[in-house]
Chains A and B, each alone.
Chain A
């Protein structure tokens, strides 16, 4: 069973602080991981992708992957009210009859002005 688990929140963070979002996955066969941001009533928008162990930084966002612990995280520095959204963690699984993304249920992030 390919599962991606996230705390649904809501996670409330003061403006300017660091928001930390976490995700665990069950199947070691996953090859790539993605963080998507989804505003209410909108489609998912890619924020970060990560394929190898360690950290990957892009502007205010840092993705972290630990394949040994089956753990993925997203850090948002200097959080802004516009960062308030649901963040979806997804892993790509290939083979076994279904090539595609397995999504977590998402973490609802609220940035307090």
Chain B
């Protein structure tokens, strides 16, 4: 029972490089999310998707892009990495709900350092 799987678990990038953080879920959830968590802080929403082909910005979308071609996959793209993007990135998923009353299931996270 895999749940939400994120790869890679750790990555070090140089300033200006780009990379894609992978996220896949096997629970057939419609909703998927990307959050970042800086040290000592709560999680902040970067992007979310309510289904294949539909994505929208969250609270802190600048410097990131996403796509959702399938229900299972929701990759997060960093273009021109900057030190301010050093963080732990969590992907989450939840079933469809109009009231948001279904809990979100989180992956194990990707720890990203930009040097």
Interface residues of chain A, those whose CB is within 8 Å of chain B, are: 4, 8, 31-32, 34, 42-46, 49, 51, 88, 90, 92-94, 97-106
A-B contact pairs, 21 of them (CB 8 A): A32-B100, A32-B101, A43-B107, A44-B43, A44-B106, A46-B104, A46-B105, A51-B101, A88-B43, A90-B43, A93-B100, A97-B56, A98-B45, A98-B56, A98-B57, A100-B45, A100-B48, A101-B45, A101-B104, A103-B35, A103-B43
Assess the B58–A92 pair: CB atoms within 8 A: no
Q: Which residues of chain A are within 8 angstroms of B41 by Cβ–Cβ distance? A: 105-106
Q: How many A-B residue pairs have CB under 8 A?
A: 74
Q: Which residues of chain A are within 8 angstroms of B107 by Cβ–Cβ distance? A: 43
Chain B residue, CB-CB nearest to A49: B103
Assess the B108–A92 pair: CB atoms within 8 A: no
Total count of chain B residues near the partner, CB < 8 A: 27
Contacts A97-B56, A98-B56 hold; do A43 and B109 have CB atoms under 8 A apart? yes
Chain B residue, CB-CB nearest to A106: B42
Measured in the bound complex, the distance between the Cα atoms of B103 and A44 in whole Å is 11
B68 within 8 A of A: no
